[in-house]
Homo-oligomer: A and B are copies of this chain.
Amino acid sequence: MSDSSTDLAEKAAGLDAADELAKQRELFALTVSDHAADAAGVVYLDGNSLGALPRHVPERMADVITREWGELRIRSWTESGWWTAPERIGDRIAPLVGAAPGQIVVGDSTSVNVFKALVAAVRMAGDDRDEIVVDATTFPTDGYIAESAARLTGRRLVPVAPAELPTALGPRTAAALVNHVDYRTGRLHDLPALTTAVHEAGALAVWDLCHSAGALPVGLDAHGVDLAVGCTYKYLNGGPGAPAYLYVAERHQDRFDSPLPGWNSHADPFAMASGFTAADGAVRGRVGTPDILSMLALEAALDVWDGVSVEAVRAKSLALTDFFLECVEAYVPDGRVTSLTPRAHAERGSQVALSCEGAPAVMEALIARGVVGDLRRPDVLRFGFTPLYVGFADTERAARVLAEVLTEAHG
């Protein structure tokens, strides 16, 4: 071990000792996997793709399946609170994204929620506004769905880089759809300023929070966001494909006109009326029967946030990504990787993306040595830092193993 790695390992130990969130790690199942070549176990830096399992979820789900489904059966829709789960769990997510209760409903995938939000936004904006502006660097599904929403509502799609967004806004803009954090580079976009710019153009701001919720403060209410969507299986640890959520600001709820008015969004679902009358409130964003097993796993998983402040999470997240960049700089030979993630804290989410020649083989070697990040083709190594269960020693080790892999590969 070089002097620098001894120093950085010591620094990591100090940072871990002072970390007020360190105790949260015990809430997660992070045992040594049979996969880890290294006896130190896995460093899981892919929680920005699939969050780790909170330890108590299996027991809760065994009860949901065996007792609520198996014994109570149909009675559980009322007696086990299944029917109201979408809005109840929405209210659990609300404080994590800066929303007052009654504005978030959980259900469907992020893609489906982007569709609801954009069509509803276009309808609220009125017929004289015929453009939907969309972040051109967005996660692709948002762009595909925005194109479909534009086609079905007779609007024109205007793709722009987020930095150019203000120049694309105007009297024709109905809505703008932007990712809070770029899924590839980890760049954090300026939600307050862009929302203000959208509002100054008289349009509605729709935010995709997939890569920010649970990693940093969002402030939906404080910044006057109109509509937002997000997934729950990344920093919120809801489980694979856990249902997404939809935020509809209270001031817009009466005019929220969903393109997917399923029976769950009806004012009186069990009247089984042939005509549709929308429910009041966030419930209007529901569609069909909610996927209870996935939904209740998410609800249980949210317990790990009890007593945790999002501000503390953000502070640790920035400390982790700062430290990772410091270690990479110290260990990795010059010129072998280039960070795509901004240095400025105000522009950084909770991941570090490194462009790297031969990235697929490098990521494969990292995973074989117990450092799990992921690859974004063709050449991006992506490392997600989840403050609830990643520590500074993990971070130092990840950078050290990366340096070893790169040194061995090209000697």
Binding site for B on A (CB under 8 A): 29, 31, 33-35, 44, 46, 49-50, 52-53, 57-58, 61-62, 65-66, 68-77, 82, 108-112, 115, 119, 136, 139-141, 143-145, 147-148, 152-153, 159, 184, 231, 233, 239-244, 258-264, 266, 270-274, 276, 287-295, 297, 372, 374, 376-377
Contact = CB atoms under 8 A, between A and B. Distances in A.
Contacts of A148: 258-261
Nearest to A85: B241
A144 to B, nearest CB: 4
Contact of A140 (B44, B49, B242, B266): B266
B239 A272 contact: no
A340 to B, nearest CB: 14
Contacts of A72: 33, 35
B74 A46 contact: yes
A395 to B, nearest CB: 18
A70 B49 contact: no
B35 A53 contact: no
Copies of the polypeptide in the assembly: 2
B293 A141 contact: no
B141 A109 contact: no
18 contacts: A35-B72, A52-B73, A61-B62, A76-B240, A82-B240, A108-B288, A111-B287, A112-B287, A136-B274, A140-B273, A144-B261, A147-B261, A148-B260, A233-B289, A240-B292, A242-B291, A272-B377, A293-B297
With a 10 A CB-CB cut-off, give which of A35, A52, A76, A262 has the most chain B CB atoms.
A262
Nearest to A73: B50
Contacts of A139: 263, 272
A82 B242 CA distance: 13
A410 B295 CA distance: 44
B274 A71 contact: no
Contact of A53 (B46, B66, B184): B66
A263 B276 CA distance: 30
B260 A145 contact: yes
A138 to B, nearest CB: 9
Q: Which 9 interchain pairs have the tightest Cβ spacing?
A: A109-B288, A111-B262, A111-B288, A53-B70, A240-B292, A141-B263, A291-B294, A29-B70, A241-B291
A292 B231 CA distance: 14
With a 10 A CB-CB cut-off, give which of A34, A145, A290 has the most chain B CB atoms.
A145
B159 A31 contact: no
A143 B273 CA distance: 10
Given A31-B71, A152-B152, A184-B272, 11 more contacts: A50-B73, A61-B61, A61-B293, A82-B241, A112-B112, A115-B260, A144-B266, A145-B260, A148-B258, A241-B293, A242-B291
B35 A75 contact: yes
B73 A65 contact: no
Nearest to A374: B74
Given A44-B73, A50-B73, A53-B65, A243 B291 contact: yes
A372 to B, nearest CB: 7
Contact of A110 (B74, B270, B288): B288
A268 to B, nearest CB: 10
A100 B119 CA distance: 36
Contacts of A261: 144-145, 147-148
With a 10 A CB-CB cut-off, give which of A58, A69, A147, A148 has the most chain B CB atoms.
A69
